[in-house]
A and B are shown apart, each in its own frame.
Chain A
Amino acid sequence: MLKYSIKRLARSLITLIILITIVFALLRFMPEEGYFNNYEKMSPAQIELGLIKMGLKDPLYVQVFRFIRNLLKGDLGLSYRYRVNSPIAKIIAPKIKISAKLGIICMAISLPLGLALGVLMARYKGKFWDRLGNAYIVFIQAVPNAVYFIFIQLYGSTWLKIPMLYNENDWRTLILPTISLALPSISSYAMWLRRYMVDETNKDYIKLARAKGVPNTTIWFRHVFRNAVVPIVNLIPGSLLMTISGSIYTESFYSIPGMGGLLVDVIKRQDNNMVMVLVVLFAAVGIVGLLLGDIAMALVDPRISFTKKEGSR
């Protein structure tokens, strides 16, 4: 287990380094003005000098190496346009806190609700609850988030008389963003759990258990649910970590000063350095999330062992 984790971690690091290199290479194609806050007023010579000073004319591998070295020191570089010449780490630290708070509240709500809905749907497959849940899932999965988020904001704030924009000191302003964020995650938890549970009920050992006369509740919770929930456990660390990246739509709709809105802002202002740092950060979070997910799955389900050669991932 430990050996596997270390091996996975090493591989994740390699993936991350490849990613940083690709992002660096891509940024070469990005407009140069993304490195200066007063680009319009600068002469070509000044621009050239500025680029050399920032080390952007160095060969790619030198830049990547320098970036990684600074990263290990906890130095994420400077923002050039979003907030002129201020350290990126300082900009994002408070934003991560806000996004994570919102994300964790949302998970705390959506995980139990999603699992409950999934169990309910699997239990009454083909009946009213299942159909209702299916209609909800289809709507949420098919229609782009933005569309129903807009309507939640519009009618939520007019009918419930809640202030539309986020205010740190008013907890009511968190209600609508939380609902918006929870709706899609409830639907995805419910959808997967239902699917896994239905698969599980069709297996032979369940038939055997029934034939033996095991009570229904025991079958559902001791056998079906416990087996079906394992792949869901795999997702949880990832989603938990991803909360720090925030949600782009909700945060910018309600002007919550979190990470999701930040990425959009930074892209709109063309701050190349921050775009890169954020992309690397989110990718790193994604990678670590998957790793932790696999470990969590192994902890929950003793049958899973990683010492055997795996197909992929």
Chain B
Amino acid sequence: MSKYLPSEKITKKLADSQEEFLRKHGILAEELLDDNLNEEQIAGLDEDLFGLAIVDESEAERTGYSNYSYWGSTVRMFFKNKVAVFNLIVMLVLVLFTFIQPHLPNQIDPNLVNYYDSKAVWYVVDADGSYTVDGMKRTQGGYAEEPKADEILAYIQAPSSWGTPAAFAYDEEGEETQLEVQADPANAGWYYCLLKKDAPYLAIMSEDLTASTYYNAVWLSVQGDKNAVYSSGVKQTKGELITDVPDGKSLAYVSAPESWGVPKLKAQASLTGSDAEFVTLKPVPDEDGWYYGFFPTEKNTLILTSEDGKQKGMNRATVSISLPQEAKIVKGFIENKPPNKVYWFGTNDIGQDLWARMWAGTRTSLFIGIVVAVIEAIIGILAGLLWGYVRKLDFLFTEMYNLIDNIPYTIILMLAAYVMRPGIKTIIIAMSITRWIGLARFIRNQVLIIRDRDFNLASRCLGTPTSRVITRNLLPQMVSVVMLRMALAIPEAIGSEVFLSYINLGLPISIPSLGNLINKGRTMMMAPTLRYQLFIPAIILSIITICFYLVGNAFSDAADPKNHV
């Protein structure tokens, strides 16, 4: 605590500076304190003391001795609010990302309908030898090598422990040819080979030929309390495969729950079910619970039962082990794919990339929101000032306000969108028609309150032009509300856009927007596997609107000078 009161501090400062001034001109303060100067002493005084004081206009505008700065305090107040700062960061990151996203490498155009590739297939092989193959483009850039008309380009991604994979192609007769596998220079971890269309059955092996995607055997296992039988070509036993397979027979491995005892395997021709024969199963050496047997290759429908015949496999396993899976060109759209490595947010029902559409939609919605906010601020402030200052216009504006305020907002929005053609412009106009008047009314009320306050009267007496009174004395008092309304315009614009899209008056599908995405997602709601199309846009939309709402409110609190201590 200072020992001086604030007012004393100021007067002391003034007095000190006065004394200093006098001392500089060779007058002692004590002399001045004596009011009764004689003529000699008066003549000895400096001429300056009797002239007009020098006024420095720029100095006069300075705000006293206080080091109060409006924006400084606003920012300081804002940063005290931890939640708001966190939201501001989230908001900035999201908004920034939205605008950089199209410039990132390997982004897909939001309106591009993605087809399966017509010339290549992609194999993704896991360490246990299971794999997926389809026509979804997983590598970047063009083809490593242009396939000829009778060829298919096969891209392979094998686990790193496999080394450079080896590829073997089979034709219908089971004739085996080894293919030349090369590393794709443009994509690390990817290899490719060219496959003849008349020998499209591809098996992939590790470099040392110990692991493979294809064995001439089948693994059957019984799982779950319903005894579902799974058949798979993925190797599930650990040791080497049984090699002495008789001619015309195929190797089957079987694993069943312990309560089954030694399972029984019946092989029959597919569909007809005739000529069923039992296969003798022997335990696999060194593998607990696994049995093996040889079944006739053409009798490829396998039925599993327990040793006493009481337990049965729920389904028949139809296996085909004579050839590996065919590498087929898939035709059509990549539609309704759940999120995966290529399409991070999945694809929609016509094969568009939801990741790209999500951010393009956010951009559209933010753009609409920002434009609406700016239009509102400009028209609202101008109209509000006119309304407040020009008395003749008061009636006109008041009537207009009554008219607009009496009708529900959604109805005006719908009517405006109905009359005009769907598009970004329509939405912006439809929202701007009504929003500005709310701000204008607030400004008008503030103008009426502040206009005739003493400091404004004083300004007017000093001949300050009205424009200066408005920009210097009035508008700064309204910053908080104007900013609040601008920040809230964005969630509101997003909401209105969702609404207009819902009633079919929104943007065409060629312009992605949050409203379009949500409505598309809603139509997919009843299929649980497609719900990602609703969840992802809904979550991102909620984050954006909540961030803007909270930041807007916090900023408006911070900008209110009443809260500056």
Partners in one complex: yes
Seen from chain A, the residues whose Cβ lies within 8 Å of a Cβ on chain B are: 11-12, 15, 18-19, 23, 26-27, 29-30, 138-139, 141-147, 150-151, 154, 242, 245, 248-249, 252, 263-264, 267-268, 275, 279, 282-283, 286-287, 290, 311-313
Query: Can you list, as one digit per residue, whether each of B361-401 has a CB less than 8 Å from chain A (1) or not (0)?
Result: 00000000000000000000000000000000000001101
CB-CB under 8 A from B125, the residues of chain A are none
Contact of B401 among A29, A142, A267, A312 (CB under 8 A): A312
A221 vs B518: C-alpha distance when bound (angstroms): 44
Which residues of chain A have C-beta atoms less than 8 A from B541's C-beta?
143-144, 147
Whether B408 lies near A143 (C-beta < 8 A) is no
Residue with the highest number of chain B CB atoms closer than 10 Å, among A141, A286, A290:
A141
User: Which residue of chain B is the closest to A260 with respect to CB atoms?
Assistant: B410
Contact string, B525-565, partner A, CB cutoff 8 A, digits 1/0? 10000000010001001100110111000000000000000
Q: Are B491 and A147 neighbours in the complex by a CB distance under 8 Å?
A: no
Return chain A residues, CB-CB under 8 Å to B504: 267-268
Cα–Cα, bound, A145→B499 (Å): 9
Q: Which of B402, B408, B414, B445 contacts A15 (CB 8 A)?
A: B402
Cα(A150)–Cα(B519), bound, Å? 10
- B93 located at the interface, meaning its Cβ lies under 8 Å from any Cβ of chain A in the complex: no
- Given A15-B403, A147-B542, A150-B538, A267 and B495 contact (CB-CB distance below 8 Å): no
Name the B residues within 8 Å of A282 (CB-CB).
407-408, 411
Besides A142-B542, A290-B406, 11 more A-B contacts (Cβ < 8 Å) are A15-B402, A142-B546, A143-B545, A144-B494, A144-B545, A267-B418, A267-B504, A275-B418, A279-B415, A282-B407, A286-B407
Closest 7 pairs between A and B when the two form their complex, measured CB to CB: A144-B495, A142-B549, A283-B407, A142-B545, A287-B406, A142-B546, A144-B498
> Which residues of A lie under 8 Å from residue B542 when comparing CB positions?
139, 142-143, 147
What per-residue 1/0 map shows which CB atoms of B413-434 lie under 8 Å from chain A? 0110011000000000000000
- Check if A312 sits within 8 Å of B495, measured CB to CB: no
A313 to B407, Cβ gap below 8 A? no
Q: Are A313 and B402 in contact (CB under 8 A)?
A: yes
Decide if B502 touches A249 in the complex (CB within 8 Å). Answer: yes
- A11 CA to B548 CA, complexed, in Å: 39
**A263 to B503 Cα, complex, angstroms:** 9
A22 to chain B, nearest CB (A): 8
A264 touches B503 (CB 8 A): yes
User: Given that A245-B408, A283-B406 are contacting pairs, would A142 and B505 also be in contact in the complex, using a CB cutoff of 8 Å?
Assistant: no
Q: Is the CB of A142 within 8 A of B411?
A: no
Query: Is the CB of B441 closer than 8 A to any CB of chain A?
Result: yes
Q: Name the CB-closest residue of A to B494.
A: A144
A144 to B, closest residue via Cβ:
B495
Query: A19 to B403, Cβ gap below 8 A?
Result: yes
Q: Of B408, B415, B505, B534, which contacts A286 at CB under 8 A?
A: B408
* Complex Cα gap A26–B504 (Å): 19
Q: Which residues of A contact B441 (CB under 8 A)?
A: 312
User: Do A19 and B407 touch across chains, with their CB atoms under 8 A apart?
Assistant: yes
How close is A132's CB to chain B, nearest CB, in angstroms? 14
Q: Taking chain A's interface residues, is the majority helix, strand, or loop, or is none over half, making it mixed?
A: helix
> A142 vs B398: C-alpha distance in the bound complex, in angstroms?
29
Closest to A276 in B: B415
Q: Which residues of A contact B448 (CB under 8 A)?
A: 311
The contact sample of 19 A-B pairs, CB cut-off 8 A, is A18-B403, A19-B406, A27-B419, A139-B546, A142-B545, A142-B549, A143-B545, A145-B495, A146-B502, A146-B522, A147-B542, A150-B538, A245-B408, A248-B410, A283-B406, A283-B408, A290-B406, A312-B401, A313-B405
The answer for the CA separation of A149 and B405 in the assembled complex, in Å, is 26
Given A312-B401, A312-B441, A138 and B550 contact (CB-CB distance below 8 Å): yes
CA distance A154 to B538 in the complex (A): 13
CA of A53 to CA of B70, assembled, Å? 66
| Distance, CA A27 to CA B418, complexed state (A) | 10
Say yes or no: B538 contacts A286, CB within 8 Å. no
Which residues of chain B have C-beta atoms less than 8 A from A11's C-beta? 402
A245 to B414, CA, bound (A): 14
Are A144 and B499 within 8 A (Cβ)? yes
Give Cα A23 to B504, complex, Å. Answer: 21
Chain A residue at minimum C-beta to C-beta distance from B445: A311
Which residues on the A side are within 8 Å of B407 (C-beta)? 19, 279, 282-283, 286
Contact B419 A26 (CB under 8 A): yes
CB-CB under 8 A from B550, the residues of chain A are 138, 142
Residues of B within 8 A of A151 (CB): 538
B516 to chain A, nearest CB (A): 12
Residues in A with CB closer than 8 Å to B445 are 311
From B403, B414, B522, B548, contact of A142 by CB (8 A): B548
The residue that A275 contacts in the complex, of B403, B415, B491, with Cβ under 8 A, is B415
Chain A residues with CB below 8 A from B410, complex form = 248
Inside 8 A of B548's CB, which chain A residues have their CB? 142
> With A and B bound together, what is the CA distance between A275 and B419 in angstroms?
11
Question: How far is A29 from B505 in the complex, measured between Cα atoms in Å?
Answer: 16
Contact between chains at A147 and B406 (CB < 8 Å) = no
Residues of B within 8 A of A242 (CB): 408
Would B406 and A138 count as touching, CB distance under 8 A? no
Which residues of B have CB within 8 Å of A312? 398, 401, 441
The CA of A252 and the CA of B523, in the complex, are separated in Å by 13
Question: Is B534 touching A263 in the complex (CB atoms < 8 A)?
Answer: no
A173 CB, min distance to chain B CBs, angstroms: 17
Write out, one digit per residue, whether chain B residues 490-510 have a CB within 8 A of any chain A CB (1) or not (0).
010011001100111100000
Which B312-333 residues have a C-beta within 8 angstroms of A? none
Cα–Cα, bound, A147→B546 (Å): 13
CB distance from B538 to the nearest CB of A (A): 5
Chain B residues with Cβ below 8 Å from A267 are 414, 418, 503-505
Q: Which chain B residues numbered 292 to 312 have a C-beta less than 8 Å away from chain A? A: none
Complex Cα distance A252/B410, Å? 15
Instruction: Contact check, A143 vs B415: say whether CB atoms are below 8 A apart.
Output: no
**What separation, in Å, do the CA atoms of A18 and B398 have in the docked complex?**
14
Chain A residue nearest to B550 in the complex (CB) = A138
Give Cα A313–Cα B399 distance, bound, in whole angstroms: 9
Residues of chain A lying within 8 A (CB to CB) of residue B406: 12, 15, 19, 283, 286-287, 290
Q: How far is the CA of A11 from the CA of B518 in the complex (A)?
A: 42
Q: Which of B398, B414, B534 has the most CB of A within 10 A?
A: B414
